Amino acid sequence: MVRLGLATTLLAAASYASAAHVHHKTPKVVPGAYIVEYEDSHDPTSILNTIKGDATIRKDIRHELFKGASFQFKDLDKAEDLANKVAAMSGVKAMYPVRRYSVPEHTVHSTGSSVQEVVAKRDTAKDTFTPHLMTQVNKFRDAGITGKGIKVAVIDTGIDYLHPALGGCFGPGCLVSYGADLVGDDFNGSNTPVPDDDPMDCQGHGTHVSGTIGGQTNNPYGIIGAASDVTLGAYRVFGCDGDVGNDILIEAYLKAYDDGSDIITASIGGASGWPEDSWAAVVSRIVEKGVPCLVSAGNSGDMGIFYASTAANGKKVTAVASVDNIIAPALLSEGTYSVAGSSLSTFGFTAGTPSAWGNVTLPVWAVNFNTADTANGCEAFPEDTPDLSKYITLIRRGSCTFVRKAQNAAAKGAKYIIYYNNAAGSTKVDISAVPGILGSAMVTAETGAAWIKGLQAGSEVIVNMADPETAPKNLNNFPNTATPGFLSTYTSWGPTYEIDVKPQISAPGGMILSTYPRALGSYAVLSGTSMACPLAAATWALVMQKRGTKDPKVLENLFSATAHPNLFNDGTKTYSMLAPVAQQGAGLIQAWDAANANVLLSRSSISFNDTEHIKPLQTFEVTNTGKKAVTYQLGHTSAATAYTFADATTIDPAAFPNELVENKATLVITPAKLTLGPGQKRTVTVLAIPPKGLDAKRLPVYSGYITLNGTDSTGYSLPYQGVVGSMHSVTVLDKQYSYLSQSSDATLAPVAAGTVFTLPPAGKANETQYANTVYPTVVLTLAMGSAEVRADVINARGKSIGQVITFPAYWNPRGTFDWNWDGALADGSYAPAGTYKITLKALKIYGNARKPSDWETQTTESFTIKYAKKGKREFTA
């Protein structure tokens, strides 16, 4: 079946629909752009001739793993008509919209100085970098294993290969020895890419990622990559700003594969939950060909369970979750202060936005002297507040936003604001939206407390702020007392809508120090699953070298079996239950254990599916790859069970943290004990009995770990997962927030029945004279993902005259979307002037499209369309 995807634009955060539903991060599409995949044996000449003159070819891909092309129609009004004609042609295997993906969200905590010189090479005898200690990477360096001979492709924003810690050159013999720029500096996702051979980074993300993998010791902080002797390939898919289409991502993956990469890593993605989209499908095919592909799990942990990201949700693709560093490193600019005229003391700060400090020296004024105030500065400042333009205003971080605190300070004349942290370390703030603020920064909790102590004693505290561009930068390592080694709260949760286990593994990604483009500070502390994925890729390289295997399945199974699951932490407290598999996968990578494991399991996880589709009896094989006989005792340890919905009547998954309970499954494991001689293999059978006492309407997701403890003191585990309740029975279409609005309403509130719209003449919507037309806007909200969505246009006689252009749409994530409709139908014709309703239909999870009962429907209020006469402008609604 030919698949056309959801061509939508996400509602603005202030919209009527999203005011009650926090749906976000859904990938956008490029209007009029499509990816077509041909049947393997088909000659595409006739297909390309069909669109000749009407479209430009974006990418012509002739590859063993993907034979097809992407193209851009010139006339957007005719695009859907032509697209549907192409989709119906013989030889077309599938067709998808070109979706756009942004550089993943990540937090920049602090950066170095672009003018600060880098000190000479400094080799350390021991690897003491905390992310390496957490994952056993240090043991490889002690053994002289550094990834030599392994080619790792990085698909990202490029790499600043001139950075002294990244080799200082590009090409054969360099650390960054191969790759390409697939887009050019000026590419923004919607314009034409201008490829070249130079993958220089101008954004920063890719340089940080690459330092984590292969950074050298030519740096002032003793940083070193986890696999510093690998060869890096840089495949730049982002310009200096903007996003990228999935056709370019497909091209990048295929090029990295053709260039002989042993591992491909990408910290890019967007909401999905379905492994069938074009990009994920191509990545899965590469894995099937023997090249491991690791993709960051996503940074949408706030969306709760069932928010898997593509292409991480692809079959056989290794999705990597993030855990927080055990320390909070910070690159702090140096300033000085005095209390009651004392000698100067130094302190560190992170410059924010704006940062026009320029050697500012002013006394400090604080909202109050309570260093435990959880809402410091969140309310309007007192009437007796002095003119704050004569002070640096000191405010504690917490509760409300930085912007709200700044607005309250600005109302009293503040121009310079310093926040002091309520957690370890420091981070960058952005209050550029507040008029009148010239400088912003953050200091540590300890520095803030010292200043408050002086003020409380009645002393004057004078702060001297240096220009952050020229001030000395110092690395400070603060203990992470809140979340050390626990899952990062931002890490996205699986599973997929078909209950595939996602993520597979976890690695340190929170508060990671690595390289950064020289122009942006040379070094930076960042947080995100983007930072976890490259460290995982580097450990894959180390194990490849140590074990001599590059088999993706073997490697993933080894890492999964030896990972360490951790307890759940919601960012403020630690629970007594293991974090669900849907959040952490198998757990934190233990790479040395993976490299030296004497047991190989035949799979990396087990999914028992939901109650309606349960697969209660499953098997896996255990092979003794060691030289001695070992007896293993088998058992299982449960993780927390996570409720998807807050109560039995709610249809939207609860935001993080989902309610967790201790109800656990019963597993009958046969045999309970087994002895394996060297090279021997045995099949283990697992019978799952789902947990009792749960509310199935709230869709609880249970999980845990099958354990194997050997007489040789080794231990292994296998994650499992299942759902109590029916995925097919959950509500997919949110009818309350699926309706008709109008394009002139920025909030996209529903229109009244009988609203009249005057549309441009057929095919003229993009002409300048109709720029101010008010269109009917179809608003659709999916509470859960749907494999197919339809939008039928119903006439006054109750008959469908066809579907709204761009429909049907396939493999859709949960979220809120909107379309402006100019009267065009999916077959390329236009609805006659008249009165209509639009019936929205969403296929249930595991639904059969041929069964009417498997569709959820919502019909809009009636509305009337008429068309302006050619040459005349009529804009009524």
Residue 33: how many other CB atoms lie within 10 Å: 26
Is 156 annotated in the active site?
yes
Strands (E), 537-640: 567-569, 574-578, 599-601, 606-607, 617-624, 630-638
Q: Which two tokens stand for residue 503?
A: 């993520």
Instruction: Give the C-alpha separation, 259 to 689, whole Å.
Output: 47
Gap between the Cα atoms of 84 and 89, Å rounded: 9
CA angle in degrees (0–180, nearest 5) for 529-500-710 = 85
Q: Residue holding tokens 């001599």?
A: 548
Residue from 304, 271, 164 nearest 220 by CA: 164
Neighbours of 439 (CB within 10 A): 22
Q: Which residues on adjacent β-strands are paired with residue 681?
A: 623
Is 205 catalytic? The answer is yes
| Residue 284 host element (H or E) | helix 278-288
| Contact between residue 877 and residue 744 where contact means Cβ atoms under 8 Å apart | yes
Instruction: Give CA 764 to chain center in angstroms.
Output: 38
And the tokens for 479?
């203990």
77, 81, 156, 610: which one is catalytic?
A: 156
Q: For residue 345, report the phi and psi dihedrals to the nearest 5 degrees.
A: -115, 150
Widest Cα–Cα separation across the chain: 88
d(CA 823, CA 31): 16
Q: Report d(CA 460, CA 348) in Å as an integer.
A: 20
Nearest 5°: phi and psi at 621?
Answer: -105, 145
Question: To the nearest 5 percent, what fractions of the chain are helix, strand and coil?
Answer: 15, 35, 50
Q: What is the Cα Rg of the chain in Å?
A: 28
**Tally of CB atoms within 10 A around 352:** 24
The residue count for the chain: 877
Q: Which residues pair with 824 in a beta bridge?
A: 830
Q: Which of 338, 418, 409 is nearest to 380 (CA)?
A: 409
Of the listed 21, 23, 132, 205, which one is catalytic?
Answer: 205
Closest CA to 250 of 182, 306, 324, 177: 182
- Output the six-digit token pair for 218: 């030519």
Residue of 488, 530, 638, 741 marked catalytic: 530
In whole angstroms, give the CA distance from residue 686 to residue 554.
21
User: Where in the sequence numbering do the catalytic residues fall?
Assistant: 156, 205, 530
